[in-house]
Copies of this chain bind each other. A is one copy, B any other.
Amino acid sequence: MIDYKTNINTGLKQIDSYFKSAFSVDCVIFGFDGKDLKVLLVKCLDENYLGQTALIGDLVDPKEDLDEAAYRILKNRTGLSNVYLEQVKAFGRVNRHPTGRVITVAYYSLINIEQYKENSASYNNQASWVNVQEVGELAFDHNGILEASRDSLKNKVLTHPVGFNLLSEKFTLTELQNLYEAILDKPLDKRNFRKKMISMNVLVDLEEMQKDVAHRPARLYSFDEKRYEQLLQSRNFNFDS
A residues lining the B interface (CB < 8 Å): 1-2, 4, 6-15, 17-24, 26, 42-47, 50, 54-67, 76-77, 87, 89-94, 97, 99-103, 105, 122-123, 125, 139-140, 142
Contacts and interface: CB of A to CB of B under 8 A. Distances in A.
15 contacts: A2-B125, A8-B102, A9-B26, A9-B44, A10-B42, A11-B45, A14-B99, A18-B59, A19-B20, A21-B60, A64-B94, A65-B93, A66-B103, A87-B89, A89-B89
Nearest to A103: B23
A9 B66 contact: no
A40 to B, nearest CB: 12
B56 A9 contact: yes
B63 A23 contact: no
A75 to B, nearest CB: 10
A9 B140 contact: yes
A9 B76 contact: no
A1 B90 contact: no
Given A7-B58, A9-B142, A11-B46, 20 more contacts: A1-B123, A1-B125, A2-B76, A2-B77, A7-B45, A8-B57, A8-B59, A9-B46, A11-B47, A12-B59, A18-B22, A19-B20, A20-B62, A23-B103, A62-B94, A62-B101, A64-B94, A65-B94, A66-B93, A87-B89
Contacts of A9: 24, 26, 42, 44, 46, 54-58, 139-140, 142
B100 A14 contact: yes
Contacts of A93: 65-66
Contacts of A142: 9
Given A19-B20, A62-B20, A45 B10 contact: yes
Contacts of A47: 11
A59 B2 CA distance: 13
Nearest to A41: B9
Question: Lowest 9 CB-CB distances: which A-B pairs, in order?
Answer: A66-B92, A11-B45, A11-B46, A90-B90, A9-B57, A10-B45, A18-B22, A9-B54, A90-B105
